[in-house]
Amino acid sequence: MSARGEATPDFLVLGAGIAGLRAALALARSGRVLVLTKGALSESNAEYVQGGIAAALGDDDKVALHFQDTLRAGDGLCREEAVKVLVEEGPQQIEQLMAWGMKFDRNGPSLAHAREGAHSRSRILHAHGDSTGAEIVRVLLAKAQQEKNIRFHPHALAVDLLLRGGRAEGVSYLGRESGEVRTIEAKALLLATGGLGRVYKETTNPAAASGDGVAMAYRAGAQLSDLEFVQFHPTAMCVKSAPRFLLPEVLRSEGGFLRDIMLERFMPRHHEAAELAPRDVVARAIIMEMRRTRSEFVYLDLTHLDEAHLKKRFPAIYETCLRYNLDITADLIPVRPAAHYAMGGASTDIHGATTLPGLFAAGEVAASGVHGANRWASNSLLEGLVFGARAAEAIASGHSAAVAKTAPERPSHAPSPTAAGDTKSCCPPEALIEQVRAILWNQVGIIRTGAGLLEAVTRLESLKLREQVPPDACAIEARNALIIGRIIAHSALARKESCGAHYRSDFPLKREGQTPLHSYVSKDTPVFFSP
């Protein structure tokens, strides 16, 4: 029963990013929808996406090419059936978005298609040059606010899923204004809570991206997958007192160079594609150059490019950098890698169903298998649209839970991420969050080692959150951060190979010639691997 007489919705959506809004619009045809948001409406990772959205809509493009490009970027771990859904249903989702008022950039009467690293065709659509994510959210939110069957509850931080008979049937949440924990029940729930980048010290993610949805799913018993695959964006602005503002790879696609602190280009030494190499390669190269030169950053150089074009093509980036006394047309921009995107999350089938009955997930919180070991640029916004819509259809039709993967009789990787250590350091929430973020950045970052990962696991297991009753937002986020940090570290330690965004210098090669394996973990099962 909902607190204080709140009308019980048929469907509950946690998160108002692209996946959550798209799902809410589809669910509104079948019943009453309540959308809970952690912060203000439209506050999501998608708001910060300066890249674009990929779809095979160009005259020289084909769905089959988009499919192959995505598989290649995923380094063998993409689920082909999920990628097939993404690329086949993507164009119609783009068309629907435009019918609702989305204005993509055009060259005359035709859509303007840009190309980014690893794409074999120009298939990236942008809006207002570098504000694609924000524009998509704006269009979806405007449409959703017109629907009488959709209600919004902002500033409501989800605490835990409500379970009845092994099924998710609601959520408890903290009202930011009231400070009270309340409950809401529903027939089915969709997690669309976004990413977990804030568990790292260096990140491009907004404050809301603290992995809450993944942690809640874990505590409720849902199976998680591939949490070791965290993508680090190579080029985040590195200026004191400034947030790690993302400078997308399209800046390098336009001709930008990376230079070390001696102003020498270095990417040609690391990869034949130089600045257009895959994200993980560029991120590792930058870290290596920073270590070699004992510097805190490298430079992104756009000064040789046309000034008028840069200002027109990247207006938001230009204005943001100016606020920190950087003119991208005239100044070298200090940059360094930062945690950006989680390929793993709550394990789902191609309909968004998790292994917990009644619980669905879409967007970055879900491990749909679309991204494999290394997310491909501009597929994430498309994933939110496609799988948000698919999850809604599955929820409305009563689709059953996904089948959980079964661990081998003798799991080789233990202990569980929830195992209790002999001695624990009891920390207040703020201190615990900072410790988790530092440990993950230093030991579970871009270049990993077995010794560093073991140290991270040991240190994370020694931490304990100082209990706080009733909990406040910081305490809730601290509990989630500790759980997520432990799972990422355990999963990375267990995967003894380098694959996609997961790079171990002690196991620098990929397991060639063997069936690609995904990692799985639940609160009752330590990390194990299965196809």
Kind and range of the H or E run holding 334: strand 333-342
82 by DSSP, 3-state: which? helix
Q: Assign residue 166 a region (left: φ > 0; alpha: ψ between -120 and 50; beta: otherwise).
A: left
- Name 524's Cβ contacts closer than 8 Å, sequence gap at least 6: 221, 416
Q: In what order do the strands lie in the sheet with 33-36?
A: 150-153, 33-36, 11-14, 188-191, 359-361
- Contact assessment for residue 233 and residue 338, using Cβ atoms and an 8 Å cutoff: yes
Closest CA to 251 of 323, 185, 179, 335: 335
What one-character DSSP code corresponds to residue 275? Answer: G
- Judge whether 363 and 383 are in contact, CB under 8 Å: yes
DSSP 8-class letter at 335: E
Among the listed residues 198, 279, 437, 504, the single catalytic one is 279
CB 66 within 8 A of CB 56: yes
DSSP notation for 194-234: ---GGGSSSBSS-TT-S-HHHHHHHHHT--EE-TT-EEEEE
Other Cβ atoms less than 10 A from the Cβ of 106: the count is: 10
State both tokens at 283: 């991120």
10 forms beta bridges with none
Distance of CA 505 to the CA centre of its chain: 24
User: What dihedral angle (degrees, nearest 10) is formed by the CA atoms of 361, 362, 364, 366?
Assistant: 40
Q: Is 279 a catalytic residue?
A: yes
CA distances from 148 to 25, 125, 287, 391 (A): 11, 31, 51, 21
Task: Tell me which residue has tokens 């706080």.
Answer: 468
Pairing of strands 167-175, 333-342: unpaired
By residue count, the chain amounts to 531
Q: Give 40-43's long-range contacts (Cβ < 8 A, gap of 24+).
A: 40/154, 40/155, 41/16, 41/141, 41/152, 41/154, 42/16, 42/134, 42/137, 42/138, 42/141, 43/16, 43/206, 43/208
Q: Among 129, 189, 181, 134, which Cα is nearest to 161's?
A: 189
Given a contact cutoff of 8 angstroms between Cβ atoms, the answer to whether 54 and 378 are in contact is yes
Question: Annotated catalytic sites, by residue?
Answer: 279
